[in-house]
Amino acid sequence: MSSDTTSREDTYVHRPGDSDIGADEPEPQGFGKRGWVLVGVVALCVLVVPGAVYIVPSLPSMAGLPYIAAMLALPMIPALALGIVAVWSMTAATRGDD
């Protein structure tokens, strides 16, 4: 018998869905509360803060801030909020918390 003939049991056949990889891991159920907080902060940073600057551009000057300082400082507030919430939500996701 030659070595190139193989029995039917020795051949590999891929069958989708017949995998034991990740069988003990639960299926993800969605964003969770931390994910929704992150979505809310992204919406705040992208829509609310720029919209407020567009609709009422004199608001910082009414608070006593010079125009240049206000236009430099205003984008930092949503950037810091987004950064803090993103790190908070990802550290919880890597620990397995909700």
pLDDT digits (tens, 9 = 90+) for 8-32: 567 777 777 666 565 566 666 677 8
CA 40 to the chain's CA centroid: 11
Q: Give the residue-averaged pLDDT of 65-82.
A: 84
DSSP 19: -
Q: Is the pTM of this model over 0.95?
A: no
According to the model, what pLDDT value does residue 77 have?
Answer: 85
Model confidence over 74-87: pLDDT tens digits?
788 888 999 999 89
Other beta carbons less than 10 A from residue 78's beta carbon: 17
